[in-house]
Amino acid sequence: MDFSLSKEHEMARQLFKDFAETEVKPLAQEIDQEHRFPRETVEKLAKYGFLGIPVPKELGGQGCDVLTYAMCVEELSKVCGTTGVIVSAHTSLCVDPIMTFGTDEQKQKYVVPLAKGEKLGAFGLTEPGAGTDAQGQQTKAVLDGDEWVLNGSKCFITNGKEADVYVIFAVTGKVEKRGKMMKEISAFIVEKGTPGFTFGTKENKMGICGSSTYELIFTDCRIPKDNLLGARGKGFNIAMHTLDGGRIGIAAQALGLAEGALETTIQYVKERKQFGRSIGQFQNTQFQLADLATKVECAKLLVYKAACKKDEYTKNPKISYSVEAAQAKLCAAEVAMEVTTKCVQLHGGYGYIKEYDVERMMRDAKITEIYEGTSEVQRMVISANLLK
C-alpha cells in the first residue's frame, strides 16, 4: 500500500492550488456577501479544462482520473465552497450520468460541450415532497407521439438558473415490485430554453451563497423522445448511481473546507497574542489543532480511497464504490462541520465577523452534511451493507 501521490497527481494538485489562490480566493468573500454566481470564474474553469477532468479526451474531456477531479474540488473548496460545488454538481451529477447511461448521440451532443465547459450542467431529483425519499416524486413525464411532456417542479437545484443542460427525473408510470405498486421513474435530458421550462424561487441560503440554487418548473414542457436517458423505468438506479459519484465530489468539497479553515486558523493562532504570547503557545490550542489535523487526515484518506475505488469501477463496472463514497462523505462532512466550528472558536470574536474566512467556511460546511444524501442516509447505506 503506497500512500504517496504520483508525479501527475502532485503536479495537478499544485495547478489547482495555484489556480484557487490566484483566481478563486480573491472573489470568495464578495460572491458570498453579494449572493452572486461567479460566472467569470466558471469561464476560467472551462478554459483550463476543469469542467471535464474525469471525462475521456474523445468526449472533450481531460482524460484524467476521479482522484484528480476530487483534488480539484478539494483545492477550490479550500478557498471557496461555492466554486467547489459548481464543479462538483456539473461533473458528478450531470456529465457523469450522461457519460455512463447516455447513447453515443447523447454523449456527442451533451457530454462534449459540457466537458469543454461550453455548457454548464445541473441535476434535478429533489422535490418539495421528495428528498431522501426519492419515491415521493410528483413530476410526471408522459409520452405523446415523439415527445415526452413534463409537468411538475424540482427544488434546491445547484447551478439552477446558470446551467444549460439538466438531468431531470420524472414518474413515467407504475410498476409492480415485490407485490407492491411502485412509481416507475425515468431520467431525461432537458435543455435550458425549452418552452415550458422556467425557474421559480431563488433560494436564500445559509452558506455556499454564490451558488445558484433555484426551483425548476415544468409546465407542459415538451422534449424529444430521444432525450430519455438510459432505459425507461431505470431512473431510480441512474439517480442512485449518480449520487454515489456525487458524494465523492461533496466529500472532497467538505475536505477542502476543513483544510482551508485549519490552514487559516494555524496562521491566525501564530499571530494572535493574548496574555503576552501567541495563542498558538497555549496547550489548549495545540491539542485542539492536533485533534483537528488528525481528523482532516482521516477524512482525506477516505475521500481519496473512494475516488480510487470509483477509478477501479471505471475499468471494471462490477466493482461497487457505494459504501466507500458514503463513508467518505459521512466522515468528511462531519469533520468539516466540527473543524470549521472549532476554528471559529479559536478565532474568538473575530471568527464571528464576516471579514474572516472561517465565518463563511463554517456556514458553507453545514450543507455538506445535508445535500446529496444527508449524513443519516450515508449511515443507512453503510449499515445496509453491513447487515445484508
Partner 1 sequence: MKVVVCIKQVPDTKGGVKFNPDGTLDRGAMLAIMNPDDKAGLEAALRLKDEYGAEVTVITMGLPKAADVLREALAMGADKAVLVTDRVLGGADTWATSTTLAGALRNLDYDLIITGRQAIDGDTAQVGPQIAEHLGIPVISYAQEIKVNGDKVTVKRQYDDRYHMVEVKMPCLITALSELNDPRYMTPGGIFDACKADITTWGRADLKDVEDGNLGLNGSPTKIAKASDKVRKGAGEKVVPDSPEDAVNYIVGKLKEKHVI
Residue ranges binding partner 1 (CB under 8 A)? 6-8, 11-12, 15, 18-19, 48-50, 53, 57, 61-64, 68, 72
**For residues 56 and 200, which CB has a smaller minimum distance to partner 1 in the complex?**
56
Task: Tell me, yes or no, if 372 is annotated catalytic.
Answer: yes
Amino acid at 203: E
Taking the C-alpha atoms of residue 359 and residue 343, their distance in angstroms, rounded to an integer, is 9
Contacts of residue 157, defined as CB under 8 A and 6 or more positions apart, other chains included, come to: 122, 123, 124, 126, 166, 213, 214, 215, 216
Chain position carrying cell 457523469:
96
Q: For 201-248, give the DSSP string.
A: EEP--SS-TTS--EEEEEEEEEEEGGGEESSTT-HHHHHHHHHHHHHH
Q: Where are the alpha helices (DSSP H) in the chain?
A: 7-19, 25-34, 39-47, 66-79, 81-88, 96-101, 104-106, 112-115, 235-271, 283-315, 322-347, 357-368, 375-386
Q: How many CA atoms lie within 13 A of 303 on its CB side?
A: 34
Nearest-approach distance from CB 49 to partner 1, in angstroms = 4
Nearest-approach distance from CB 44 to partner 1, in angstroms = 9
Nearest-approach distance from CB 163 to partner 1, in angstroms = 22
**For residues 18 and 220, which CB has a smaller minimum distance to partner 1 in the complex?**
18
**For residues 8 and 34, which CB has a smaller minimum distance to partner 1 in the complex?**
8
**For residues 48 and 287, which CB has a smaller minimum distance to partner 1 in the complex?**
48
Nearest-approach distance from CB 102 to partner 1, in angstroms = 21
**For residues 25 and 161, which CB has a smaller minimum distance to partner 1 in the complex?**
25
- SS3 label, residue 277: strand
Nearest-approach distance from CB 12 to partner 1, in angstroms = 5
**Quick one: how far is CA 126 from the chain centroid?**
14
Report the catalytic residues: 372
